[in-house]
């Protein structure tokens, strides 16, 4: 099965490339925004037909959460129109589609892990653009899945873990928000889950029944303060971490206070074992420390 990866130079795209050799049943075409403009429906269809693509994993997205408050049109162009174009192209060419979304589509006002079936209620521009992308995909209803994730980090690009490791080396003390709760997700684990979802479909010869929504993040939950404490622990750094409330660190875009995702259906339906967040964080930091 030939899979097209969009946004291949981002954290998840790079992580998919990292684990690709573990899945000999797939061949891969990797594209970034310079090679495939997902806001162009014709360009997508042409590439699918030229390369005989059978599945698309859409890792391309506008993810600058705070900048989106000012770059509204750009956020919706990529996250809504780009997603719509990919869904339409997959429907037209009978490609299987997997789209990556975010926990930000929820209000963050709950106190139990969000089920994939629960209604969305986004607050920020970024969140609204991602929710609009989901709605556009569901309206087209191609064969495949929307997979929501949260607090993504990896060895690649810029992310919270790498930033905290750098700051922990530079400073003796850091203030970190303690009243926002979520589930960290190691991009390598997500990449493995995504390809196992495709593998499950291949092995089970499932009939097309439209788009389904699933959640994937590492098991367990943490505050940003808890997450940072663990980063310092595994990074063997002596930096003191002080908890602070969100109001002491105001940002342009609203963040959900509780964004833990219920991943039970993902584990059950695809037979995927989901690692605990601290175990995966330790693995990632060990790799980073050897670079």
Tell me the catalytic residues. 126
Cα distance from N-terminal residue to C-terminal residue, the chain: 33
CA atoms within 13 A on the CB side of 237: 25
Determine contact, residues 98/145, Cβ cutoff 8 Å: yes
- φ, ψ of residue 284 to 5 degrees: the values are -65, -45
Place of tokens 């499932």: 206
| DSSP one-letter code for 104 | G
Helix, strand, coil share (%) of the chain residues, nearest 5? 45, 20, 35
**Residues in CB range of 283: below 8 A, 6 or more apart:** 186, 188
Residue 30 CA to residue 3 CA, distance in Å, equals: 9
DSSP per-residue string spanning 178-190:
-S-EE--EEHHHH
The H or E element that residue 228 is part of is helix 224-234
Question: Is 34 exposed, middle or buried, given 0-12, 13-18 or 19+ CB atoms closer than 10 A?
Answer: exposed
């Amino acid at each position: 099965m030939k899979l097209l990866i969009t946004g291949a130079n981002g954290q998840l795209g790079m992580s998919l490339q990292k684990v690709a050799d573990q899945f000999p049943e797939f061949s891969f075409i990797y594209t970034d925004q310079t090679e495939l403009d997902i806001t162009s429906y014709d360009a997508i269809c042409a590439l699918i037909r030229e390369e005989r693509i059978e599945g698309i994993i859409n890792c391309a997205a506008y993810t600058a959460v705070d900048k989106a408050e000012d770059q509204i049109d750009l956020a919706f162009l990529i996250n809504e129109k780009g997603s719509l174009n990919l869904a339409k192209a997959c429907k037209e060419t009978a490609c299987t589609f997997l789209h990556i979304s975010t926990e930000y589509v929820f209000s963050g006002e709950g106190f139990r892990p969000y089920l994939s079936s629960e209604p969305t209620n986004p607050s920020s521009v970024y969140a609204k653009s991602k929710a609009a992308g989901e709605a556009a995909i569901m309206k087209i209803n191609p064969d495949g899945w929307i997979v929501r994730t949260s607090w993504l980090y990896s060895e690649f690009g810029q992310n919270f873990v790498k930033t905290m490791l750098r700051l922990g080396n530079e400073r003796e003390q850091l203030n970190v928000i303690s009243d926002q709760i979520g589930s960290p997700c190691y991009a390598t684990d997500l990449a493995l889950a995504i390809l196992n979802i495709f593998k499950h479909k291949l092995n089970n010869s499932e009939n097309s029944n439209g788009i389904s929504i699933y959640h994937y993040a590492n098991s367990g939950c943490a505050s940003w303060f808890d997450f940072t404490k663990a980063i310092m622990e595994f990074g063997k750094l002596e930096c003191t971490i002080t908890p602070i409330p969100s109001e002491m660190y105001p940002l342009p875009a609203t963040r959900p206070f509780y964004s833990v995702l219920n991943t039970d259906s993902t584990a059950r339906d695809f037979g995927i074992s989901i690692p605990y967040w601290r175990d995966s964080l330790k693995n990632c930091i060990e790799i980073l420390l050897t670079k």
